[in-house]
Amino acid sequence: MARAYNKKVRPRHFEVGQSVLKRVLPHQVKDKGKFSPNWQGPFIVKRVLPNGALYLTDIKGKMAEMAINADAVKIYYDASSDPTNREQKKEVTEESPPVESQDASSDRTDSGRPSVLDSVTAREGGSFEEHSNRSFLGDQHIDEGSNSSDVTYSLVELEKLKKEMKMMETALQGVARQAQAKADEIAKLKNENEQLKAVIEDLRRKSNDADESLREEYHRKVFALERKVYALTKERDTLRREQNKKSDAAALL
């Protein structure tokens, strides 16, 4: 069975069930057949992991490689099963002129004109080259579309990130304003507390002064009353003594 692959076609996205070749280092190559010595296979894509890596198995379904990078893999093309190739061969067969006798063909070849075989070969070569170019351009278009979608996705993510940062900045500003309002309120309460402390201290001082004045007034009045009592007592005793003397004198008479 004839097999071929196009080195220019390197898709970045693979599907489950595709036949692929795996890149290996030159010193790791064991089978140096008709394929490039830097490729081994074919393998079957068993699973496409979320990070883009591939889980490969051999044709019999046995595990061969797990989580290999997609950049180290390319599609394995089977020329006999390629529908594009079959259509191109059909077109070549339909468009080719009828084959004449061997002598006539030899005569035209000898006279310098191309033979039917040369014409068919040239058409097949041109069709294969055109198919390769179309595949390469299609792959380039896919890559450009993928890059464009990646750029668009990056721009959308950037805009989303900017909006989230703006919302976070607004929220932080609101929190900062609330914190400043609380700080101002605390400062106001501290100021009022200091004022109340000053008023209480002034009232306490005035109360102490008033108590001292009342105490002094009390002691002064008590001392004055004691002096009056002492004077009255002394005067009473004097009057009693005089009265006793008068009584004694009257008794002697």
Q: What is the pLDDT of residues 225-239, one digit of tens each?
A: 999 999 999 999 999
pLDDT of residue 2: 42
Euclidean distance between CA atoms 214 and 165, whole angstroms: 72
| pTM given for the model | 0.29
Least reliable range by pLDDT among 31-40, 195-204, 214-223:
31-40
What are 57-72's pLDDT values in tens digits? Answer: 777 666 666 656 666 6
pLDDT of residue 30: 52
pLDDT of residue 1: 39
pLDDT of residue 171: 93
Contacts of 29 (CB under 8 A, 6+ apart): 37, 38, 40
Is it true that the peptide bond before 42 is cis, omega within 30 degrees of 0?
yes
Mean pLDDT of 78-92: 48
Domain layout of the chain by residue ranges: 1-81
- Structural element, H or E, at residue 23: strand 19-23
Phi-psi region of 208 (alpha: psi -120 to 50; beta: other; left: phi over 0): alpha
pLDDT of residue 155: 84
pLDDT of residue 47: 74
Contacts of 135 (CB under 8 A, 6+ apart): 6, 8, 9
Euclidean distance between CA atoms 218 and 147, whole angstroms: 104
pLDDT of residue 119: 52
What are 181-209's pLDDT values in tens digits? Answer: 999 999 999 999 999 999 999 999 998 98
Instruction: Let me know if domain 1-81 sits in CATH 2.30.30.
Output: yes
Whether 153 shows a pLDDT value over 70: the answer reads yes
Answer for the pair 58, 21: CB distance below 8 angstroms, yes or no. no
- Give the C-alpha distances (Å, rounded to integers) separating 198 from 186, 187, 195: 18, 17, 5
pLDDT of residue 246: 87
Mean pLDDT across the chain, nearest whole number? 70
Mean pLDDT of 122-128: 50
